[in-house]
């Protein structure tokens, strides 16, 4: 058991990190921080614009700084971007500063959930299914490396997933700084 005051959701795009995070933050009395929204607020530009102007490397620099700032505090539920685990320093920070839940989702479910989403720069570069499969191959071992708990979100709504995950967290996550 990893006693931590922060709860961190990792996983691929379309896994439900933000939607499920919203429900869990309310249930556990945590402040919800969405990494991509934090980056947009700090920069005054959308993720797509940052990718266009600075490339993925520029975005990842901004992501690293935002994660460090958000996780400097306690009582946060952080919904990371799907690629946050690519950076070794980010992986270390996630492990040190929170209880990490890997939200798993199949490529087929991602395609369904992201069918109308045109805001994700990595999906704008060709065959969406192929891109998602390549990202899964690269990132799955990194998610597994940092996760304290894995949870499959396939074929269930965000509300149902949050309810089921909350029950799991009650037996797997000992929130530090909180007395029972």
Task: Mark the binding-site residues for ATP, compressed into ranges.
Answer: 14-19, 120
Which residues contribute to the annotated binding site? Answer: 14-19, 36, 60, 82, 120, 139
| Alpha carbon distance, N-terminus to C-terminus of the chain | 16
Which residues contribute to the annotated binding site for Mg(2+)? Answer: 18
Whether 105 and 19 have beta carbons less than 8 Å apart is answered as no
Cβ neighbours of residue 22 closer than 8 Å, sequence gap 6 or more: 32, 158, 162
- What is the C-alpha to C-alpha distance for residues 128 and 130, in angstroms, rounded to an integer? 5
What strands lie across the sheet with 149-152, from one edge to the other? 31-34, 76-79, 7-10, 99-104, 149-152
Cβ neighbours of residue 147 closer than 8 Å, sequence gap 6 or more: 10, 100, 101, 102
Give the residue ranges of DSSP H helices in the chain.
17-28, 35-43, 47-70, 88-97, 107-113, 128-146, 158-172
Which residues contribute to the annotated binding site for substrate? Answer: 36, 60, 82, 139
């Amino acid at each position: 058991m990893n006693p931590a005051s922060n709860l961190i959701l990792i996983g691929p795009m379309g896994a439900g990190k933000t939607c499920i995070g919203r429900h869990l933050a309310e249930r556990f009395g945590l402040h919800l921080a969405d990494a991509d929204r934090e980056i947009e607020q700090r920069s005054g530009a959308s993720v797509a614009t940052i990718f266009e102007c600075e490339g993925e490397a520029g975005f990842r620099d901004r992501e690293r700084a935002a994660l460090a700032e958000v996780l400097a505090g306690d009582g946060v539920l952080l919904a990371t971007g799907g690629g946050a685990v690519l950076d070794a320093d980010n992986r270390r920070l996630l492990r040190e500063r929170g209880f990490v839940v890997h939200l798993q989702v199949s490529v087929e479910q991602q395609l369904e959930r992201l069918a109308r989403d045109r805001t994700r720069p990595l999906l704008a570069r060709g065959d969406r299914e192929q891109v998602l499969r390549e990202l899964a191959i690269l990132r799955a071992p990194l998610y597994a490396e940092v996760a304290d708990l894995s949870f499959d979100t396939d074929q269930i709504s965000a509300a149902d997933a949050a309810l089921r995950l909350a029950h799991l967290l009650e037996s797997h996550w000992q929130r530090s700084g909180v007395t029972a």
